[in-house]
Amino acid sequence: MPMALKADISRAARADGTEKPVDLVHLSTQTLGDRDLEAQVLGVFATQAGIYVEAWKAAGGGEARMRAAHSLKGAARSIGAWTLAELAEQAERPGFADLKCLEVEVDRVCDYIRSLL
């Protein structure tokens, strides 16, 4: 399924209140159904996500901030955290100022991950 279609599905699920913070079907596809690998990937994500946000905040702007947001975006997409990936994509752009929204979504995804592990 192309990523744009997954993002459309995610937006529709968000609109009707059924969206989960992580698309577990996507994650299973990425890990070829290996449950142990899924747990490892989710654990690494939960650790790294906060590091990326802190790096974004510590960067004064420019290239370093863009790299931190880009890393978060890629990590979020890899596990199927579509809403977080969209916010991280926005954070890549100069002038992004909704850090609180980004942090809330990181917390939501990580809380969901902890509930699974």
Chain mean pLDDT for the chain:
90
E strand or H helix that includes residue 80: none
CB contact set of 59 (below 8 Å; sequence gap of 6+): 65, 67, 68
In contact, 45 and 75? CB cutoff 8 Å: yes
Q: Which domains does the chain have, with CATH numbers?
A: 3-116 (1.20.120.160)
Three-state secondary structure readout of 85-106? HHHHHHHCCCCCCCHHHHHHHH
pLDDT in tens, 100-109: 999 999 999 9
Instruction: Give the pLDDT confidence score for residue 97 in this predicted structure.
Output: 87
In angstroms, the Cα distances linking 44 to 35, 66, 96, 114 are 14, 21, 26, 12
User: What is the pTM for the complete model shown?
Assistant: 0.86
Q: From CA 97, how far away is CA 70, in angstroms rounded?
A: 16
For residues 81-106, average pLDDT? 95
Q: Which two three-digit tokens encode residue 26?
A: 């996507």
Q: From CA 106, how far away is CA 31, in angstroms rounded?
A: 22
CB contact set of 24 (below 8 Å; sequence gap of 6+): 38, 80
| DSSP assigned state of 117 | -
- % of the chain surpassing 90 pLDDT: 78
